[in-house]
Structure 1
Amino acid sequence: MPQKIILDCDPGHDDAIALMLAHGNPDVELVAVTTVGGNAVLEKTTKNALGVLTIAGITGVPIAAGCAHPLMRQGEDADVHGESGLDGVVLPEPAMELDPRHGVDLIVDTIMEAEPKTITLVPTGPLTNIAMAMRKEPQIIDRVKEVVLMGGGVHVGNWSAVAEFNIKIDPEAAAMVFDAPWEVTMCGLDVTHQALATDEVAERIKALDTPLSEFVLGLFGFFRHAYHNAQGFEFPPVHDPVAVARVIDPSIVGTVRAPIVVETRGDYTLGMTVTELRPAHIPADCHTQAAMTLDADRFWDLVIDAIARLGKDSSNG
């Protein structure tokens, strides 16, 4: 049976690829999509999600807009995604309408209506929606199978010297998610910086020769230029689908069991995901783990296969 996932996202170029992987792989079932303010303001991330679902032919999946702002702080945009949050491509008019529920309610309803331990939460943006869902209906904590998120890092930061964007812009929400007694896998920068959209990857996608593959190449082209200018990468890291890949095949993403806490008060360390790697300080019942290694070839095989499947389906009408 496919693993059922809710993808909570803030598209974002890499969120777009995560959406495609989540729907284009037969081993996962995308049961809901929620959006959050993050890479761009909520209005833009929601518009981008609708456009990606449309161009990829992803229908029949409820999508709802969630929280526009962090729990306690001012929002920030991630400039590497451009003014629209998804620069470099032209989005079609949406082929579906938003679910009338708030994104937090869609998360809660989907989990509460499903059998316990059958839904995996895959947040790829700030964790505001997840924290609010926990607060609104604490029962979801026991009912969720696991949380596999893109965010944080053990040894690396990007929005500060030690903090990653998704965690830093809403550290209070992140602290709630990491502290809750459910299984949490952090796919942070240590592993996502290994998911590089190289020239070889782009050539494989170009060979698919579908409108969707051309769309993906447009995403990669802008993202490569922006990441090179902002952070000096030769090839852009495609962060968010790594979390989806971890759900599809855990052996692709190697993890270490370790306590993880989010710094919410430091002047220089705000949003840091402090990861305890000393063996003597890792309890037997530790419920958090950090991703450290990636089989990049198998990861890209999954992504390209999903783009091929979706591209073929959308081309056939």
Structure 2
Amino acid sequence: MPTPIIIDCDPGHDDAIAILLALAHPGELDIRGITTVGGNQILDKITDNALKILSFVNADIPVAKGAAAPLLGKLVTGEEAHGESGMDGPALPASKFKPVEQGAVEFMLEIIRASEEKITLVPTAPLTNIALLITAYPEVKERIEKISLMGGGLAYGNVTRTAEFNIYVDPEAARIVFESGIPIVMSGLDVTDKAAIFEEEIQELKTRGPVSVMVGELLDFYSIYGKKMGFVGNALHDPCAIAWLLHPELFESEHLYVTVETEGKLTRGMTVADRRKKPDQPANTEVLLGVDREAFIKLLFDSLERLDRQLGSPAGES
């Protein structure tokens, strides 16, 4: 049976690609719903982006709007990397869908309570919605199989020297989630920067079907910021959280105790791992550290080809 999941996101170029990767594998992943949270851009913009992606591939999956701001303070967005819309690049048609009336927390709660199987949460955004859910309804933690998230980094950050964007935006929420007792798989910068797509591969996508071309156009824009920062290749951060669910054998990992720094002047938002073997502090997180990049990119290309064919334009046809 396919794994039932809820994707919590802030599209965002790499969030959009993560959604598409999941949609291409209905036999393995059953997307019960998508929730949105302020992050890469303000809430209304990223919610509209999620609906546009679903509309583009004719996927009528319910979308619920969540928190517009972090638990404390004001929202910091990723506009520098993702543009004014939050997903600049391709000219996508207006969405055919609208978000549901429920808020994200109530929406997730209803799905989790109604499911016969435990639900896996896949957050590729600040963890505000997830923290609000498990704080308001702690009993649902027993109904959550695991959390496969994109966020953090043990070796370095990307917003500051020590903090990755998703965790930095709402470190208080992230700390609640990491200390919740729910099993966590962490796709942080340690692995996602290794899951890079290179320029020639992006251009190859643009010779294929409509979904592949659209993703190529997303990556054309998304790579601009990376080039400014001196990166060779464009890291596909959020798709790692989906790819691990599909093919965990592609990844190298280590089980560690991880928590989040919320007070340090230089380290706020840092994911801090403890490699000591402490009986009173068992590992709470499977931290992904390496990836078979070539197999990961093949998975992406094959998945987009599936979606191309569903839209009636097999790979290689104009």
Normalised TM-score (structure 1): 0.94
Q: Deviations over 1:113-135 (max 9, x none)?
A: 11242x11000000000001112
Task: Tell whether the 8 Å contact from 2:257 to 2:281 is kept in structure 1 after alignment.
Answer: no
2:316 matched to which residue of 1?
A: none
RMSD: 1.5
Distance between the aligned counterparts of 1:224 and 1:159, measured in 2?
17
Closer, same or farther: CA 202–113 of 1 in aligned 2, 3 Å: same
Tell which deviates more after alignment, 185-194 or 284-293: 284-293
Task: Tell whether the 8 Å contact from 2:258 to 2:284 is kept in structure 1 after alignment.
Answer: no
Q: Is 1:224 the equivalent of 2:223?
A: yes
Alpha-carbon shift at residue 266 of structure 1 (Å) = 0.5
Distance between the aligned counterparts of 1:115 and 1:274, measured in 2?
35
Distance between the aligned counterparts of 2:263 and 2:281, measured in 1?
28
Task: Tell whether the 8 Å contact from 1:120 to 1:148 is kept in structure 2 after alignment.
Answer: yes
1:291 matched to which residue of 2?
A: 288
Alpha-carbon shift at residue 284 of structure 1 (Å) = 8.0
What code does the residue aligned with 1:306 have? S
2:270 matched to which residue of 1?
A: 272
Consecutive unaligned residues in structure 2, runs of 5 or more: 314-318
Report runs of 4+ in structure 1 exceeding 6 Å deviation.
Answer: none
1:148 matched to which residue of 2?
A: 148
Q: Deviations over 1:134-193 (max 9, x none)?
A: 122111111100001000001120010000000011000000000001101111000000
Closer, same or farther: CA 264–284 of 1 in aligned 2, 3 Å: closer
Task: Tell whether the 8 Å contact from 1:255 to 1:289 is kept in structure 2 after alignment.
Answer: yes
Alpha-carbon shift at residue 5 of structure 1 (Å) = 1.1
Distance between the aligned counterparts of 1:65 and 1:158, measured in 2?
26
TM alignment of 1:118-267, pairs within 5 A: 119-207=119-207, 209-229=208-228, 231-267=229-265
Q: Percent identity?
A: 39
- What secondary structure does 2:152 align onto? coil
- What secondary structure does 2:283 align onto? coil
Distance between the aligned counterparts of 1:96 and 1:181, measured in 2?
36
Alpha-carbon shift at residue 247 of structure 1 (Å) = 1.0
Pairs aligned (count): 311
Distance between the aligned counterparts of 1:44 and 1:315, measured in 2?
29
Out of 295, 300, 306, the position equivalent to 1:303 is: 300
Distance between the aligned counterparts of 2:279 and 2:198, measured in 1?
37
What code does the residue aligned with 2:40 have? N
1:48 matched to which residue of 2?
A: 49
Distance between the aligned counterparts of 2:279 and 2:53, measured in 1?
41
